[in-house]
Amino acid sequence: MNTVQSMRALLLWLALLCGAAHAQFTGFPGTTVRFASVAQGRSVLGTVDEWMPLTSELQRASTLGRTPPVSVEEFRAFSAEAVLPWTEAQQVRWRKALQRLAPKFAALRVPLPPEVLLISTDGRDAFGNPYTRGHAVVLPLAALPDKAEADVYILAHELFHVVSRHTLALATRLYTTIGFESAAPLQWPGAWLPQRIANPDAPFDQHLMRTTVEGRAVALMPLLMAERADLKAGESFFSVMEVRLLEVTPGDATRPTVPVMSGGQPVWHTPEQAPDYLARLGGNTSYILHPEETMADNFAFVAAGWPARNSELLAQIEAVLRAPSR
């Protein structure tokens, strides 16, 4: 190899090294955030994980814009195909949000896993909504307007899902600040399974709230459902999505939590029918479909430094995060 060839090889190596360094962010203590390659992104979104088999055929068919049947395998392949390569501009954009969040995460000792992936998609995989899978945050390219303050909030919300999946005990302690306690996993009502909408950020139902409805002491679990299974032209499952507060009988180590039944049907309420339930959620967000989502929004207020109506709840969340015990 002559001198010119050696110089070209050195420059190529330096370019690759700089590119690899630019495709990651190391501002969180003990954690590397990587902008996933297309292959890495497809590997994550194409995995049949704990969430994917819980999706109903209605949810899968609606996402693909098809009539049933749509198998889990077809859904897996469709999700993987939505992955895009990161552009330089998009990496710069989300790096700024990471830089804004890093000092607060460090101050609160937020326990991120050793590696977090950021995956870019065209948005078809979730109707343009950000979400998480495993230790990866999925950010749809076209659906998120480039606004610095919104980026910080969105990323904080999604990173909370990664944190809670990584440290479930911490998530459970945080849930107590909004009235939820750990429970045996729910045995879903069989009649509701065709209308089930499984949330990739919180696929399991294993936390309940003990509260009152019309003077009765009850245990409630919020479930995400399609109001009806027959979608009209132009509708998606988001068009008919609703939260049902299911009355449950808590289980234990040997038996699951089960629905309370009356006349052969599950007993449930709308959130508006359970004012004490809503009050205990704190009032900072309308995102009440699962304790995980309510807490992720409140955590995002804390991490982004945004004001909220219930500042006392944010102070309680900070106290839990700062506590020595994890």
Give the per-residue pLDDT at 324.
Answer: 76
Mean pLDDT along residues 114-133: 97
Confidence of residue 92 (pLDDT cuts 50, 70, 90): very high
Q: Is the pLDDT of residue 18 over 90?
A: no
- Nearest-CA neighbor of 113 among 73, 170, 192, 166? 166
Query: Does position 15 have pLDDT exceeding 60, yes or no?
Result: no
> What does the pLDDT read at residue 3?
55
Report yes or no: 94 and 139 within 8 Å, Cβ to Cβ: yes
Mean per-residue pLDDT, 267-278 = 97
Mean pLDDT across the chain: 92
DSSP class of residue 193 equals G
Q: Would you say residue 19 has pLDDT above 50?
A: no
- Kindly indicate the confidence band of residue 325, based on its pLDDT and cuts at 50, 70 and 90: low
The mean pLDDT value for 253-264 works out to 96
Q: Look at residue 251 and tell me whether its pLDDT is greater than 60.
A: yes
pLDDT of 300: 98
pLDDT of residue 139: 97
Averaged pLDDT, 4-29: 58
Q: Assess whether pLDDT exceeds 90 at residue 10.
A: no
How large is the average pLDDT for residues 248-262? 97
The predicted structure's pLDDT at residue 12: 38
Residue range 32-60, pLDDT digits in tens: 999 999 999 999 999 999 999 999 999 99
Report CA-CA distances (Å) from 324 to 106, 126, 185.
14, 37, 28
pLDDT at 321 over 90: yes
DSSP state of 186: B
Give mean pLDDT, residues 95-113: 97
pLDDT band at 232 (very low <50, low <70, confident <90, very high): confident
User: What was the pLDDT predicted at 16?
Assistant: 38
User: What pLDDT shows up at residue 22?
Assistant: 57
Domain positions in the chain? 22-169, 172-322
Q: Cis omega before residue 291 (within 30°)?
A: no
Band the pLDDT of 143: cuts 50, 70, 90.
low
Q: What is the mean pLDDT of residues 107-132?
A: 97
- pLDDT class for 326, splitting at 50, 70, 90? low
**How much is the pLDDT for 159?**
98
Measure the CA–CA gap between 255 and 246, rounded to whole angstroms.
18
Q: How far apart are CA 108 and CA 321, in angstroms?
A: 6
Q: What is the pLDDT of residue 260?
A: 98
How long is the chain? 326
E strand or H helix that includes residue 80:
helix 72-81
pLDDT in tens, 199-217: 999 999 999 999 999 999 9
Q: Is the pTM of this model over 0.95?
A: no
